[in-house]
Amino acid sequence: MHVSREELDKKAKAILEEYENKDISPRQRAQIPLQEMPAQDPQVRVTNMEEVALGYTENQVRAEALRCLQCKNKPCIKGCPVGIDIPAFIAAAAKGEHAQALSIIKESSSLPAICGRVCPQESQCQLYCTVGKVLKDVEQSVSIGRIERYVSDYARENKCETMPKVAPETGKRVAVVGTGPAGISAAMDLRRRGHTVVMFEALHKAGGVLVYGIPEFRLPKKIVEHELQNLKDMGVTIRRNYLVGKTRKISDIMGKDGFDAVFVGSGAGLPRFMGIEGENYVGVFSANEYLTRSNLMKAYAVGDALTPLFDSKKVAVFGGGNVAMDAARTAKRLGAEEVSIIYRRTDIEMPARREEVAHAKEEGVKFLYLHAPLEITANEKGRVNGVSLIECELGEPDASGRRSPVEIPGSEKMFDCDTVIIAIGNTSNPLIKATTDGIEVNRWGNFIVNDETCETTLKGVYAGGDIVLGAATVILAMGQGRKAAKAMNEYLLTK
Amino acid sequence: MNKILSKQRLSQEVFRMSIHAPEIAEARSPGQFIILQMGGDFGERIPLTIADADAEEGSITLIFQAVGETTHRLALLEVGDSIENLLGPLGTPTDIKKYGKVVCVGGGIGVAPLFPIVEGMKRAGNEVKVIMGARNESLLIMEEEMRATADEVIVVTDDGSYGRKALVTEPLKELCEEWKPDCVVIIGPPIMMKFAALTTKPFGIHTIVSLNTIMIDGTGMCGGCRVNIGGETKFACVDGPEFDGHLVDWDNLLLRLGTYKPQEEVAHHRCHIGLEIPEGDA
């Protein structure tokens, strides 16, 4: 049953009246009910592209912050890839000091408004939360991400963000390749240290996966634009329509153009396909293509956008990660009558954020577990008309620690659909490797870097994010960007 | 930023533009392409092959046919206007080297991207014969340039309004039989490339084709441009756009090119109402 933001706010207000500014025991704190995230009504939101999660109200954020036990050993911090002082910012939020809370977060993270929305908190900070442990349910942990989002949005909307200070110019010049989360965080930290920073973006819009991949309904683009504007205000130059490796090679950027160091955060931009028959039929898309059409090219605005959309009635999405959820939910919004996520394992093995899975289900996306595709079939015009599937059961755990799917012989069946979206991950784009001598990659094509410094095998060239990690998360990419920036700063000052 | 330096109308629907793009001019090689985007948030990204470049002047030349909404809008720009977004050079360059005897076959607008390859092949020491075809005389472009560069130029039109009345495959077959080229390069509409490649196949002549598929980013990220090459999936944007013409699955290519046909018909209608290109020097 959908509960409105007003009702949730009323309940939160009652909690505050009972507990706020009182001496309450940890036991009582853990008993305060978790504040649900207000959301657009599922019936309504499948007809628009606007953000689904509406964000806490002021009463809710303070009520949720009251649930934090302020543990002495701060277990949540070890779950955060960038080590944010979580109890400290929650304490500030509890007092309504949101600008202060944001300053605490920004000591460790450059993109809180984004991470508050897209981090998989249940497998990071919230996994270690004592409240969740006491209540024996990780979904009952303190909603750290939602509080992070609130204070970031509050500071942005009320214009009380503290802008990072830029140190006096060092005269050193750094090129940042890619304007996604890794590049943004590296650029921000390098600029703070007084270096000249030029970012290079291949597409006509900056933001990387935050713009072409993650849909508007999950991450409004105005938030990404705001972060990019902050970078520009600090003096960072962003050059769009510039494909490093093609427009110019890294050797020329460091030679002819005189950059002292390069950070490569070019992402994992090469979609994986399943390697089955029929993958090139009309109506088969990589999730990258499907999402890029809708997000970057605004194809959802039929009539205004020149980029066309495929007319889908029945859609099959393969994969179980956030990208699969994004693609399925986008397909729903673009008017598909029936959308199914087909996954080889079961619900609990799906790597997607829990909230995205829940939202997808609320929006009517169907889930077919324990099925793997064998072949995509098409009609006489080469247009997709179905997928042949085989049932699976779970066997022994594989390298990822998840139980691996084992096909059951003789269980083949046909699944009718007119569109297939493949969301089984990306591999590294080989473009920079292919045009740069001295950069070594592993067998998946990911750049080999020093764990401590993120330096590649080519001196002065550093890398982070998906080009190093394979397909990972925004926060991990950001963490690497910051780590690399720290090492690059030291390198530049001694150079 | 990507200012238009010159503009000429080569035929009713075909335009030549030279555009300020110093980095692309310096980096590009024959066979490579650019992607441009205009019209703000809602514009589409379209690939166009680079027809020529002048690194000293810092310019590239594009030759395009006004067929869709974006090329129509492009045709309406004048000298001094700018193209909002221009990315390149993309794709891998043509494998230009000394083969010996080379036939370059261009169909329609495909003659434009063929020209730098003809030049390159000549410079590499090849003897080069060119076959260029069009539906009719008014659609023929760059004949003079070709004649000034190639050793021999054969012109064909579908309706016989100029040159020989034939499809490009006829003289191509004759050259394969009599002149025995070592390499054939074909650029044109996909259906023409298919049949031209089928023509050279029995002779076992190395045949290069340039595929103009549906693309979005042009960097390998979306995979919309994938093609079957000898049973393997390749991305035209990064692995191509040029491939061995004898290994291309032409039928699949043609099907994939028709992915958005219903939507394109609506859009084409729209751009012909709103964007009349005034008559100029053709």
- Tell me the shortest Cα–Cα distance from A194 to chain B, in angstroms: 28
CA distance B228 to A280: 8
Mutate to test the interface with B, among A244, A247, A250, A432 (most CBs of B within 10 A): A247
Alpha-carbon torsion, ordered B116, B215, A286, A389, to 10 deg:
-90
Q: Do A297 and B44 touch (CB under 8 A)?
A: yes
Which chain B residues are Cβ-neighbours of A271 within 8 angstroms?
221-223
End-to-end CA distance of chain B: 28
Q: Is the CB of residue A321 less than 8 Å from the CB of residue B248?
A: no
Say whether A202 and B217 touch across the interface (CB within 8 A).
Answer: yes
Position A152 scores a pLDDT of: 96
Q: Which of B37, B256, B259 shows the shortest C-beta gap to A204?
A: B37
Query: Which residue type does A192 have?
Result: R
10 Å CB burial of residue A22 (0-12, 13-18, 19+) is exposed
A303 touches B: beta carbon within 8 Å: no
Alpha-carbon gap: B31 to the closest alpha carbon of chain A (Å): 14
pLDDT of residue B281: 47
Three-class DSSP category at A154: helix
Q: Which residue of B has its CA nearest to A432?
A: B219
Q: Please check whether residue A292 touches B, CB under 8 A.
A: yes
Q: How confident is the model at residue A231 (pLDDT cuts 50, 70, 90)?
A: very high
- Cβ contact (<8 Å) for A297 and B222? no
Strands A413-416 and A384-397: antiparallel
Q: Which residues of chain A have a CB within 8 Å of the CB of B260? A: 308, 310
Strand-pairing partners, residue A367, are A341
Pick from A313, A309, A268: nearest CA to A285: A309
Cβ of B220 within 8 Å of Cβ of A430? The answer is yes
- Convert the pLDDT of each residue in A322-341 to its tens digit: 999 999 999 999 999 999 99
- Distance, in Å, from the CA atom of A243 to the CA atom of A239, rounded to the nearest integer, reads 10
Cβ-nearest to A292 among B70, B217, B227: B217
- Are the C-beta atoms of A441 and A241 separated by less than 8 Å? no
A382 vs B41, B88, B252: nearest CB: B252
pLDDT range class, residue A303, cuts 50, 70, 90? confident
The DSSP call for residue A53 is B
Determine if the peptide bond prior to A38 is cis (ω within 30°). no
- Mean pLDDT taken over chain A: 94
Per the CB < 8 Å rule, is B227 touching A280?
A: yes
| pLDDT bracket for residue A269 (50, 70, 90) | confident
Say if the Cβ atoms of B27 and A301 lie within 8 Å: no
The low-confidence residues of chain B, meaning pLDDT below 50, are 281-282
The verdict on a CB contact (< 8 Å) between B43 and A269 is: no
Angle at A166 between CA A160 and CA A172, to 5 degrees: 155
Q: For position B278, what pLDDT does the model report?
A: 62
Across the interface, whether the CB atoms of B89 and A292 are under 8 A apart is answered no
Check residue B282 and give its pLDDT.
42
Please name the helix (run of DSSP H) or strand (run of DSSP E) that holds residue B20, with its range, or none.
strand B14-20
Which helix H or strand E contains A373, and what residues bound it? strand A371-378
| Chain B residues touching A381 at Cβ < 8 A | 255
**A302: which DSSP letter?**
B
> Does residue A147 register a pLDDT over 50?
yes
For range A278-303, the mean pLDDT: 94
| Minimal CA separation from B235 to chain A, in Å | 10
Using CA atoms, how far apart are residues A254 and A235, in angstroms rounded to an integer? 21
Residue A150's φ and ψ, nearest 5 degrees, are: -60, -50
CB pair distance less than 8 Å for B42 and A204: no
CB contact under 8 A, B42 and A298: yes
pLDDT at A238 (0 to 100): 98
Q: Given this model, what pLDDT does residue A418 score?
A: 97
How far are the Cα atoms of A412, B98, B107 from residue B154, in angstroms, in the given order?
A: 57, 22, 12
Is the previous residue joined to B241 through a cis bond, with omega within 30 degrees of 0?
yes
Taking the C-alpha atoms of residue A193 and residue B185, their distance in angstroms, rounded to an integer, is: 53
Radius of gyration of chain A (CA): 23
Q: Tell me if ipTM is over 0.85.
A: yes
B75 touches B15 (CB < 8 A): yes
Inter-chain residue contact B233 with A431, CB threshold 8 Å: no
What residues contact residue A318 under an 8 Å CB cut-off, 6+ apart? Answer: A274, A324, A341, A342, A343, A373, A420, A421, A422, A423, A424
Least confident of A65-69, A115-119, A400-404: A400-404
Percent of chain A whose pLDDT exceeds 70: 100
Inspect the interface and report whether the beta carbons of B224 and A242 lie closer than 8 Å: no
DSSP-assigned letters across all residues of B74-104:
HHH--TT-B-SEEEEEESPPP--S--SEEEE
What's chain B's length in residues?
Answer: 282
Asked if residues A462 and A449 have their Cβ atoms less than 8 Å apart, the reply is yes
Residues of A in contact with B24 (CB under 8 A): 247
Answer yes or no: do A202 and B219 touch at CB < 8 A. yes
Tell me which residue in A301, A307, A382 faces B44 most closely, judged by beta carbons.
A307
| DSSP 3-state of A484 | helix
Residues of A within 8 A of B256 (CB-CB) are: 280, 282, 382
pLDDT tens per residue, range B193-202: 999 999 999 9
Using the beta-carbon criterion (under 8 Å), do B221 and A308 form an inter-chain contact?
Answer: no
If 0-12 CB within 10 Å is exposed, 13-18 middle and 19+ buried, where does residue B95 land?
middle
pLDDT band at A397 (very low <50, low <70, confident <90, very high): confident
> Is residue A234's pLDDT more than 70?
yes
CB contact under 8 Å between A306 and B42, yes or no, is yes
Q: Would you call A293 an interface residue with chain B, using a CB distance cutoff of 8 Å?
A: yes
The C-alpha atoms of residue A375 and residue A277 are separated, in whole angstroms, by 5
Q: Which residues of B7-23 are buried (b: 16+ CB within 10 A; e: fewer)?
A: bebbbebbbbbbbbbeb
CA B183 to chain centroid, in Å, comes to 18
Query: Which residues 359-418 of A have a C-beta within 8 angstroms of B?
Result: 381-383
Distance (Å, rounded) from C-alpha A419 to C-alpha A171? 53
Q: Strand ranges (DSSP E) for A120-253?
A: 173-177, 196-200, 237-239
Question: Per-residue pLDDT averaged across A390-412, rounded?
Answer: 90
Average pLDDT over residues A116-136: 94
* B264 CA: distance to closest CA in chain A (Å): 8
Mutate to test the interface with B, among A289, A306, A420 (most CBs of B within 10 A): A306
Judge whether residue A240 has pLDDT over 60: yes
Q: Is A288 on the interface with B (CB under 8 A)?
A: yes
Q: What is the DSSP string of A203-225?
A: SSSSSTHHHHTS-TTTS-HHHHH
Of B41, B43, B219, the CB nearest to A429: B219
pLDDT (average), residues A277-291: 96
A459 has a chain B CB within 8 A of its CB: no
**Closest Cα in chain B, distance from residue A288 (Å):** 5
pLDDT per residue over A3-43, tens digit each? 999 999 999 999 999 998 888 999 999 999 999 999 999 99
pTM for the full model?
0.93
Q: How far is A367 from chain B (nearest CA, A)?
A: 25
Please indicate if any CB of chain B lies within 8 Å of the CB of A47. no
End-to-end CA distance of chain A: 62
- From the list A246, A306, A382, the residue facing B44 with the nearest CB is A306
DSSP state at residue A347: G
pLDDT at A196 over 60: yes
Q: For residue B48, give how far its alpha carbon lies from the nearest alpha carbon of chain A (Å).
A: 15
Residues of A in contact with B249 (CB under 8 A): 280
B255/A241 touch (CB, cutoff 8 Å), yes or no: no
